[in-house]
Amino acid sequence: MESCKKICKNEADWNFIKRAFFLAKEAHQGVRRRSGEPYLLHPIAVAQIVVSEIGLGVKSVVASLLHDVVEDTDYTVEDMEHIFGPKIASMVDGLTKMSGVFNADTSQQAEYFRKVLLTLSDDVRVILIKIADRLHNMRTLGSMPQNKQIKITGETIYLFAPLAYRLGLYAIKTELEDLCMKYRFPKEYEEIQRQINETSAAREEYIRKFNAPIIEALDRNGFKYEISGRIKSVYSIWTKMMRKQIPFSEIYDLFAIRIVFQPTDFPSEKTQCWQIYSSITDIYTPKPDRLRDWISIPKANGYEALHSTVMGPDGIWVEVQIRTQRMEDVAERGFAAHWKYKHATISHDEDEFDKWLKMIRTALDSPTQNAIDFLDNFKLSLYTSEIAVFTPKGEARHLPYGATALDFAYDVHTKIGNGAIGAKINHKIAPITTQLSSGDQVEIITAESARPKAEWLEFVITAKAKQAIKNFLKREQEHNLQRGLQMLDDRLAQLNITPNHRVIRKLIEAYECSNKDELYTKIGAGIVSLDNLEKIVKTNSKNKILKFWTLFIKDSNNDNEKEAESNQNNDISKQKSSPDNQHLVIAECCRPLPGDSVVGYRDPVTHQIIVHKATCDELNRLASQRGDCIVKEAIQWSQYKTQSSLATIEVVGIDRMGLLIDLTNVITNDFSVNMRQVNIQTHDGIFEGTLSLYVRDAESLNAILDRMRRIKGMESVKRLD
């Protein structure tokens, strides 16, 4: 608690913290965590992270010490307000898990996250404390069973790590990712860590050799600085190995050189960063396409730095990061440092971080009914890859990579998005569905008569655009429904026909609608005309009656079959049988093969066990929303051993005569594997394409890949999901 005492400005602050500590100690008396240690150590650890690694103040420490008291003990939020005041009570309430489910049709896990995320609308510190809580839980995850580890790591990699990044907590984001890998893929983690340690001596020697002339130049120019070499995280190295399907030995950018300097009053920080960049490029040749200027246009999370990749000794590319001490503090401590420096200056202008926070708060003001949709929409706002585009007046706006002109329109204003009909990108007319590139200048063309369409949802990727389109379509549907109901009533009244169940049923059948709401909506939208209404209503042929009863009997039989199937599934789910005795469904999103590391997810509706690759992004999403559906037992592949599964391989290399023959010989002659499809193209001496093969398991596929990589001219061979 000494670190907490240091932030106290006076004795009253320290007494405030001590009151919270002693209340937490009394409330958690005799309770132990799964690891066996006293539960009180957890809130203390969270408070220390909040102070030492995030940089928050006294109120945040008090809320951290009390964050589990209301949830786990007899104390209430009202008690917290009476003892510590309304602000602490509000923060503790935001950190407390809900006691019930808001909507019985959705996930309690997703509802809880919605409640926590909604606190962004009130106090960002609650989210920061929650991240600290998650960090300590991840540091002590080893005592949890495997299915709980998958649930917690899935939540962490899907939501908490991106959220930490977006709030500027880069060091915490990196540690969360590494810890997720450590528990999900322990063998791979240990292997990469071992190889990093084995190459450390040679790497440190190279860093000294690379830094020597830079140090001489910076000293000569009078800079006060620190220079260091930082190794990439295990997780980032592993993801690169997975993405490119290359071994550790082929990862050349294992580290980056960081220069952190103390700026002088004159010239500006920006100018001094470029002066250091100029000194370095006088020594080493820069790679033109790898210059990243986040000083002129900072990232949306407030990150500022100048990154460049230069050619170092021995023909090795090295990334160099240049930043001031202020930029370093913001990069490591994020939100807290951001506000400390902001309020230390005269200017309180809205920056990129403020804009992002404002956008998030706006989105959270009207959350969707479904908590899972809400969570997915929030996830869309946590993009790590960004582009910067410009308005016609030159204002820079940050959008996620892959954003379209329509995303830009909604980012400017919902009204502009709803009325968009086209765009001018770099002064040339283009469709609103055009994907934008960094540096584009965009002007949106609107029309009063324009209306959002349902297919627009396929072209936008930002949460704001998706939510705005859904809201409009919902309002439009409600309007059309009411209008259609009124139009139908008026028309029936003109014909002296009383609206009843029989009449409505006839119209639903005649206009091929599934229910009466769809009927009213189509009438209101003008899709269905009422010109032949009288003829339809007064038609009462035996064929139609027969058809109706045939459909009715068929639907009733289907309902009975579904009910029987549901009861059977419920009985199966109650049995304590292993997943191997139940029907396994191979996930279409990642298509695992026998031998792959997999995780089972029990569908809450069908009760089928869906098998995902352990590395599947969709699995992380499911684990973050319904972690209770993760299957505890290991998945057995025995029933799939005799089956062949389709695998797709991507190949790239240097073209030559006989290459395709060599490829087919390896596949058909060496391994006796059937090919479903071969698609190879050549251009400018390069070949690339895909092969679809029927293989039995991951081991046999890996053997084929290893053999193909040894074919002359082959540059890259990797499996596609």
Active site residues: 71-72
Q: The sheet that has 645-654: what strands, in order across it?
A: 675-683, 686-695, 645-654, 714-720
User: Which among 364, 384, 386 is positioned nearest to 375, based on CA atoms?
Assistant: 364
Distance CA 118, CA 128 (A): 13
Identify the three-state secondary structure at position 452: coil
Q: Is 707 exposed, middle or buried (0-12, 13-18, 19+ CB in 10 A)?
A: middle
Residue type, 55: G
Q: How far apart are CA 359 and CA 676, in angstroms?
A: 48
Cβ contact 139:101 at 8 Å: no
Under 8 Å between Cβ of 533 and 522? no
For residue 458, give the nearest of 424, 428, 435 by alpha carbon.
435
3-class secondary-structure state, position 719? strand
The DSSP-derived string for 477-513 is HHHHHHHHHHHHHHHHHHTT----HHHHHHHHHHTT-
**In this structure, how many other beta carbons lie within 10 angstroms of the beta carbon of residue 624?**
26
Give the list of residues 6+ apart from residue 155 with CB closer than 8 angstroms, or none: 109, 113, 134, 623, 624, 627
63 contacts 89 by C-beta, under 8 angstroms: no
**From CA 5, how far away is CA 14, in angstroms rounded?**
6
Q: How is the beta sheet containing 428-430 ordered, strand by strand?
A: 428-430, 420-425, 442-446
Amino acid at 112: Y
Alpha helices by DSSP H, 260-324: 269-281
Residue 527 has phi, psi (to 5 degrees) of -75, -35
- Assign 711 to helix, strand or coil: coil
What whole-number distance in Å separates Cα of residue 319 and Cα of residue 307?
Answer: 7
Instruction: Dig out the tokens for 178 from the structure.
Output: 């590494």
Phi/psi of residue 719, each to 5°? -85, 135
Please give the Cα distance from 506 to 572 (Å, whole number): 41
Strands 317-324 and 255-262: parallel
Q: Residue 177 and residue 156: Cα distance in Å, rounded? A: 8
Say if residues 367 and 419 touch (Cβ distance below 8 Å).
Answer: no
**306: nearest Cα among 294, 324, 319:** 294
What's the count of helices (H) and strands (E) in the chain, helices before strands?
Answer: 30, 18
**556 and 658 Cβ atoms separated by less than 8 Å:** no
Q: Within 10 Å of residue 714's Cβ, how many Cβ atoms? A: 17
The tokens describing 568, both together, are 């059977």
CA distances from 605 to 12, 20, 55, 113, 188 (A): 55, 44, 45, 22, 34
Considering only CA atoms, give the Rg of the chain. Answer: 31
